[in-house]
Amino acid sequence: AKTIRPLEEEGHGIAGGRKYIIAGIFFKFALDVFRPKSTKYMYGDDEPNDVGAMKAARNDMIGLLSYYNSGVPGLNYPLMSTIDYRGFRLIALSIIPIKGNQTLKYGSPDGADTLKYQPDVAKRMKQVGKTLNLKGHRVKGHPQKIYGPGDIEAHIGLDGKVYVLDFARVFPPEAPSCLSREVFYNL
């Protein structure tokens, strides 16, 4: 039996579940993960909520399709597929030529603690936002307006093209019935 070890969280984030690279394909295994900084789970609270993680993976695909269908020129996206197998959900993505924070030009890799904003990329992201009826907003006190979720990422790849990723929270969530982590997966 072969064991495939997940990638380290650093540089890959915790949202989206455990991450793997196999045969040149980047996989996200949609399981709820513990957030050590907050002592809570990403989609559950005190207990894991794998159904919430699977819904967030579905939202990632919906967001990507919406951005792609906006038709804004100069934005590129990874190929993406959702795989449901025996009650589990994986997202398979093509590997794009980016290098974490080095190529990040718009959005946040860390829950909006830091925010990147390059005007040329921001102009394109604003066009998508207007097409999708997403109002620009400030995130965690940063002065620039972001169109879309604070944790979306746009990179200028090593090939000079702009790549957009992390679409799970593109559309605003429904109002939760009570204070809960549902805002991360219920549309």
Span 103-121, pLDDT tens digits: 999 999 887 888 999 999 9
In the chain, the DSSP E strands lie at 18-22, 25-29, 34-35, 40-41, 75-76, 80-85, 88-94, 104-107, 116-117, 137-138, 145-146, 153-156, 162-165
The pLDDT mean for the chain works out to 89
State the pLDDT at residue 43: 87
pLDDT of residue 92: 97
Structure tokens at 178: 């009570």
User: Is residue 180 predicted with pLDDT exceeding 70?
Assistant: no
Is 177 a residue whose pLDDT tops 70?
A: no
Predicted TM-score (pTM) of this structure: 0.88
What is the average per-residue pLDDT within 85-101?
Answer: 95
Token readout for 152 is 């979306």
User: Residue 168, exposed/middle/buried by CB under 10 A (0-12, 13-18, 19+)?
Assistant: buried
Q: Are the C-beta atoms of 158 and 142 separated by less than 8 Å?
A: no
Binned at pLDDT 50, 70 and 90, residue 11 comes out as low
